Amino acid sequence: MTTSFSAAVPDSLLDALFLPFAAGALRLPADGHALFLHARDGFRLRETAGAGWLCQQSFKPFADALQRAGRRVGEPAPDRRYPLVLLLPPRQRDEARAAFARALRHLEPGGVVLAAAANNAGAKSAEADLARLAGALRSLSKYKCRVFWATPRPETVESALLEAWLALDAPQRIEGGYLSRPGLFAWHRIDAASALLAAHLPADLAGRVADLGAGYGYLAAQVVARCPQVQAIDLYEAEARALEPARVNLAEACQASGREDMAGSVHWHDVTAGLAQRYDAIVTNPPFHQGRADLPELGRAFIASAAEALLPHGRLWLVANRHLPYEATLASRFAQVRTVAVQDGFKVIEAVRA
């Protein structure tokens, strides 16, 4: 199945990021090495990046797109330093601040940290945060974006602030005692739609279950707590930063239910690409946004993957915003579809395979 996540970043954002090189304000490193945090594939990257560039990306569809383009994708070694660190800061501010701190941590003395953000995606706040950490910046504005950069001097970087911002990315306890971290979906709370689905999960779910788009693992933990006949559960999540909290929350749910021997695993996976395993039941609160844009095709792709992964008579339990048009897709893939609950703008649906 072809992924429904758009792997392409707007050309304008990469055009802005690389504008200082085109304008002669910056030069590419003589040794050909650079680190690109939260990297995205695109024409400008393919045109500019060399073999010595390392692209870091924790979101599986975007990491896959970079690899297909021939980029080297991975995490930098803790002590590795680069003459150039590029960054597309994420929207969530704590996550972005941690990313800026990480950029400086991996920067060589005398090196350049370079970032770009769209004007309607917090560019001014991001620029102010980098200035607070790195000192004086230079900037350009074009393509409805801002690109800004610095060559931090050690004496201008406040080490206490650097360490505090690095710590912002650490997993932390939230409402309900769950472990989460900034930038994940509904990272600091229990999502209302997921809570509604959990409240309607039937106690007779049994066998092997999957949670698609598991996030930090709330729904999977609820399956363990509410469905004693479930023997194994697999969590699928495209954001690698969610995997550690999901593993912890799943293990704690099993322990609290006295089911420490229950089989469970967490997978870094793009659900829209399909699943290899077959399941007796699937639960999901599928994403329907990418960035700020509505993308109901994502939910439809999750439904299609679920239908293909369910065993005969397997059951899909799904929650979605009430306005999302999933019924036609469900009706084309399942023998029985019923709306279980409609509340607070959400709908819970059960669909059963023939």
Number of Cβ within 10 Å of residue 342's Cβ equals 12
Domains along the sequence of the chain with CATH: 11-167 (3.40.50.150), 172-352 (3.40.50.150)
CA pair distance 209, 45, nearest whole angstrom: 40
Helices (H), 191-326: 192-199, 218-226, 243-256, 296-309
| Predicted pLDDT at 354 | 81
CA pair distance 214, 224, nearest whole angstrom: 14
Residues 6 or more apart whose Cβ sits within 8 Å of residue 297: 4
| Predicted pLDDT at 107 | 97
Q: What is the pLDDT along the chain (354 residues), one digit of tens a residue?
A: 334 455 456 689 999 999 999 999 999 999 999 999 999 999 999 999 999 999 999 999 999 999 999 999 999 999 999 999 999 999 999 999 999 999 999 999 999 999 999 999 999 999 999 999 999 999 999 999 999 999 999 888 999 999 999 999 999 999 999 999 999 999 999 999 999 999 999 999 999 999 999 999 999 999 999 999 999 999 999 999 999 999 999 999 999 999 998 999 999 999 999 999 999 999 999 987 555 556 788 999 999 999 999 999 999 999 999 999 899 999 999 999 999 999 999 999 999 998
Residue 213 in contact with residue 236, Cβ under 8 Å? yes
| Predicted pLDDT at 209 | 98
Only one residue has tokens 């979906």, namely 185
CA pair distance 117, 119, nearest whole angstrom: 6
Is the Cα torsion angle 124, 49, 107, 243 positive or negative in sign? positive
| Predicted pLDDT at 285 | 97
CA pair distance 352, 189, nearest whole angstrom: 30
| Predicted pLDDT at 77 | 97
Q: Give the number of C-alpha atoms closer than 13 A to the C-alpha of residue 274, restricted to the C-beta side.
A: 4
| Predicted pLDDT at 222 | 98
Only one residue has tokens 């790195």, namely 134
pTM attached to this predicted model = 0.94
